[in-house]
Amino acid sequence: MEGYIRVSAATPKIQVADVEYNKGEILRLMQEAHKDGTELLVFPELCLTGYTCEDLFLQTALLEEARKALLFLAEQTRGLGMLVLVGLPFEWEGALYNVAGVLYEGKVLGLVPKMHIPNYSEFYEGRHFTRGFDKAVRVELGGEKVWFGGKILFRCNGIPDFTLGVEICEDLWVVCPPSTFHALAGATVIANLSASDETTGKDTYRSSLVSGQSARLLCAYVYADAGEGESSTDLVFSAHNMIAENGTMLAQSERFQNQAVTADVDLERLRSERRRISTFVPEGRENYESVSFDMPPKQKGLLKRYIDPAPFVPNNKEDRDKRCEEILSIQSMGLKKRLAHTNCKYAVVGISGGLDSTLALLVTVRTFDMLGLDRKQIQAVTMPCFGTTDRTYQNALLLAKKLGTELLEIPIQKAVLRHFEDIGQSPELHDVTYENGQARERTQVLMDVANRRNGMVIGTGDMSELALGWATYNGDHMSMYGVNASVPKTLVRHLVKYYADTCSDKELSSVLLDVLDTPVSPELLPPKEGEISQKTEDIVGPYELHDFFLYYILRFGYRPMKIYGLARQAFVGIYEKEEILKWLKCFYKRFFSQQFKRSCLPDGPKVGSVAVSPRGDLRMPSDACAGLWLQELL
């Protein structure tokens, strides 16, 4: 799949000061990584000699052997198509430096020195090593001139979004890490060769540093840590290897196992984030030496990363419950402010016995409780018509009763039939006019009921429906405040389920669970044998697919074929590739053609990273063409 590179962090089991043994272990891990399709392999700090050599670093024999081993390993990269980083001590002009050697296709592309030399607590590096310098110079190594310095970027010609910056261990822990400047100058991937000893609780802080730096820099961060084999005279090293991408930990080793970790980094996602976030301002590129290398992208089957089929929904129950509580609070606080600002004491919610109206009513009840208002001042209005089934009707009644709201039942069949008569619409013709006439009548009723009490109509439509345009313009599309406007359908289900699981009223919980079990439907067509005949997902497609498409289209701006590929991996064994392609085309067609409905949305609170409000997240022309996107899917 395009846009990804496979990166690995590996810890060889070394022997202190035994360079011959160490290079053999490194070579073995290089060969294993190559078989796995790795394109960037990072080893720990000073791994050729061992980090814990102490005054042996001052021995000429050790330094010369390390230099020979570096050249040997460089030669072994020939034909691997893999960038390899190893750590070693390197002597230059009378000073000793702790460096990372960057190897590719038989050559040493560059040497990057450690910029910050710790000399506190258990660290005593200042006794042996000199602080690195920024401006790169050319040094002789194995008969070749090689760039050596802190400000070097390694740019891949075959994978344009792959630019590597390097820092070493302590560099990450300082106030302003070198990786900050690397990223601003264009690095999308940061490699850290580390030898971080293990003390109680340090792993948590180390993980937060790595994930946090990847988030701040909008980059991938590959962290390789020293492990078993280092001297245990005073310290123990745990081989805590990590790969993070924009704040997300993609892979993390089990400590004390010398375990390699591998993940596929999404370079296109990083580029998209930098493009989107206007406060990421590139600078300082002119201060760097740029070393180019030719690496064609490797073909990948299934990605070595989890593709979540429900990107809006945390897959861990504890995190999911926390997210649900947070979203309900955001929705309620948004509505609370609007009611307080307008001095409104009444709310009107149209309830159908379906998911969206149920969530809107739950949010409204929660808001009234926060304001100290009587729930009887919430008017839950059920408006049975041609498509209403007894199941949804009874659930609507029970829901209003159990929540303690005022229930208004206003049948609209007669009004709709009279309207059909006025406009010459046959009730036997079940076309779009037949359906939308009911939706607009319901909205008219809600608006007028609200006017009678100086109240506010609370919108029920969710973000997935708005993305697909599955709403009647100036019907259920309209309200005075839309509490669900940025909640996708897959998350609506979990919000209602969370409420059902946490409420103390067993009867209310039972009603909510039955609502969850009811097929999603606008109920605008007559039932068949008392059952819902019009199932939304049969018409526009599965919401779990559409929410997946929506996330990657709006959050990252991915190309259609990449989204298709991701969906195939995320939904393997659930949907066939032909079905995924069919509904992806459907999404693009509806998303573009229905923008006019989103251009005039009522106010409503943003709850997540994706929203379709025309005042914030999605400023899109209503007459844009979908041809470019659909053409790619042919």
- R_g of the chain computed on alpha carbons: 30
Inter-residue contact 156 to 163 (CB < 8 Å):
yes
User: If we measure between CA atoms, which residue out of 68, 79, 138, 77 comes closest to residue 103?
Assistant: 77
Q: Which residues contact 249 (CB under 8 A, 6 or more apart)?
A: 207, 210, 211, 242, 243
Inter-residue contact 262 to 39 (CB < 8 Å):
no
* DSSP characters over 79-130: TT--EEEEEEEEEETTEEEEEEEEEETTEEEEEEE-S----STT--GGGT-P
Location of structure tokens 């496979």: 6
CB burial string 392-431: b at 16+ within 10 A, e below: bbebbbbbbebbebbbbeeebeebbeebbeeeebeeeebe
Distance in angstroms (rounded) separating the CA atoms of residues 405 and 407: 6
Inter-residue contact 70 to 17 (CB < 8 Å):
no
What six digits make up the tokens of 285? Answer: 């590129």
Out of 169, 219, 324, 385, the active site residue is: 169
Tell me the residue type at 233.
T
In sequence order, what E strands does 396-516 have? 406-409, 456-459, 481-482
* Burial class of residue 557 (count of CB atoms within 10 Å of its CB; 0-12, 13-18, 19+): middle
Question: CA angle, corner 490, sides to 487 and 494, nearest 5?
Answer: 85
Distance in angstroms (rounded) separating the CA atoms of residues 519 and 353: 11
Q: Is 600 a catalytic residue?
A: no
Distance in angstroms (rounded) separating the CA atoms of residues 423 and 407: 31
Out of 23, 25, 39, 45, the active site residue is: 45
User: If we measure between CA atoms, which residue out of 141, 179, 147 comes closest to residue 163?
Assistant: 179
* DSSP characters over 471-490: S-TTTTT--SEETTTT--HH
Provide the 10 A C-beta neighbour count for residue 533.
Answer: 18
Location of structure tokens 């009707």: 393
Q: Would you call 542 helix, strand, or coil by DSSP?
A: coil
- Positive or negative, the CA dihedral 48, 53, 58, 61 is negative
Q: Is 344 a catalytic residue?
A: no
Angle between helix axes 355-371 and 506-517 (nearest 10 degrees) is 150
Location of structure tokens 């839309």: 482
Residue 460 φ/ψ, nearest 5 degrees: -115, -20
Provide the 10 A C-beta neighbour count for residue 341.
Answer: 8
Out of 114, 151, 497, 585, the active site residue is: 114
Q: Is 45 a catalytic residue?
A: yes
Distance in angstroms (rounded) separating the CA atoms of residues 52 and 128: 12
What six digits make up the tokens of 584? Answer: 């992806």
Residues across the chain: 634
Active site residues: 45, 114, 169
